Amino acid sequence: MRPFPSALVLSLAASVSIAGCATWFNPAPHTQRATVVEYLYPKGEQPTLTPSIPELHLPLRVGIAFVPSERFDDLPETERDRLLNRVRDAFANRPYIAAIEIIPTAYLRPRGGFDNLEQAARMFNVDVVTLLSYDQVQFSDSNRLSVFYWTLIGGYIFNGSQYDVSTLVDASVFDVKSRSLLFRAPGTSQITGSSPLVNFAEASREARSEAYRRAIDVLIPRLDAQLEAFKVRVKDRQVARIVEKPGYSGGGALDPVALGLLGTGALLALAWRRRSA
């Protein structure tokens, strides 16, 4: 029996080695989620439909917090603080807002309901709470040239793995006492990129953080627009009663006294123009 040529043996060995080491890199989707419905209505109960007109005491003390998740590693607390501070800074100079307090996630418990929200509101002395819920999904996939090889120095993937991060952050503003939803606004983002396997975990983690930051950038002007629309509804449809706290001198667009003065001033100016004519 003639032996196989050595070159052929080496070629077959190399082929088997490569075939055994090459794999497709297709991890499962990475999901991060915390919803306001699951937090406020943990037992599946339906939101109350009883008509209730909230009473807002100006200047408002507002709390802002992320809805707690049952997965503690979903969104790091340091990243939550950075995002909450961006929202707080965008609204901190409103004359009808006395203070905006950041409520750490540790003071809220998953599926805590309105009772938990009221406890946190009393602890931080706030009347209104803005809850940020989130839903983020990262899909990862190998492109056609992305083949993983295991070598003596570790794994290596040609051309990298692609990732696609879809993110929604939703702000829901509640009057705590009446448990009424005053208004809400969403922010979304979409990030697509790729990275070598050796840097994939770090790159995809940074992409997820950047996706939250971009969603917040979209959310802030939308939340501001909804706030302006709410002030119009307060004036035209009386969806809330406005009460001034002792010592408050107005200055905010929600202030009914200021609105009255503006209306009186407009009437006097019109009368003066008619008299001059």
Is 272 part of any domain? no
What pLDDT was estimated at residue 273?
Answer: 46
What pLDDT was estimated at residue 28?
Answer: 65
Indicate the number of domains in the chain. 1
What pLDDT was estimated at residue 230?
Answer: 96
What pLDDT was estimated at residue 177?
Answer: 94
Is 275 part of any domain? no
Residues 142 and 157: beta-carbon distance below 8 Å: yes
Is 200 part of any domain? yes
Is 8 part of any domain? no
| Residue-by-residue DSSP string for 190-216 | EEEEEE-HHHHHHHHHHHHHHHHHHHH
**Per-residue confidence in pLDDT tens, the chain, 277 aa:** 555 455 544 444 444 344 434 444 455 677 888 999 999 998 877 666 556 789 999 999 999 999 998 775 668 889 999 999 999 999 999 999 999 999 999 999 999 999 999 999 999 999 999 999 999 988 876 554 444 445 455 544 444 567 788 999 999 999 999 999 999 999 999 988 776 666 777 878 888 899 999 999 999 999 999 999 999 999 999 999 999 988 887 655 564 444 443 344 444 444 444 444 4
Range of the domain at 47: 19-265
What pLDDT was estimated at residue 43?
Answer: 81
Is 36 part of any domain? yes
Is 92 part of any domain? yes
**Residue 165: which region, alpha, beta or left (left: phi > 0; alpha: psi -120 to 50)?**
beta
Question: Taking the mean position of all CA atoms in its chain, how far away is CA 254?
Answer: 26
What pLDDT was estimated at residue 146?
Answer: 47
What pLDDT was estimated at residue 26?
Answer: 54
Is 227 part of any domain? yes
Spatial CA neighbour of 53 closest among 253, 233, 250? 233
Is 99 part of any domain? yes
Torsion sign, CA atoms 131, 94, 52, 234? negative
What pLDDT was estimated at residue 158?
Answer: 44
Please give the Cα distance from 220 to 13 (Å, whole number): 60
HSE-CB at 243 with a 13 A cutoff on CA atoms is 9
What pLDDT was estimated at residue 51?
Answer: 62
CATH code for the domain in which residue 174 is found: 3.30.160.180
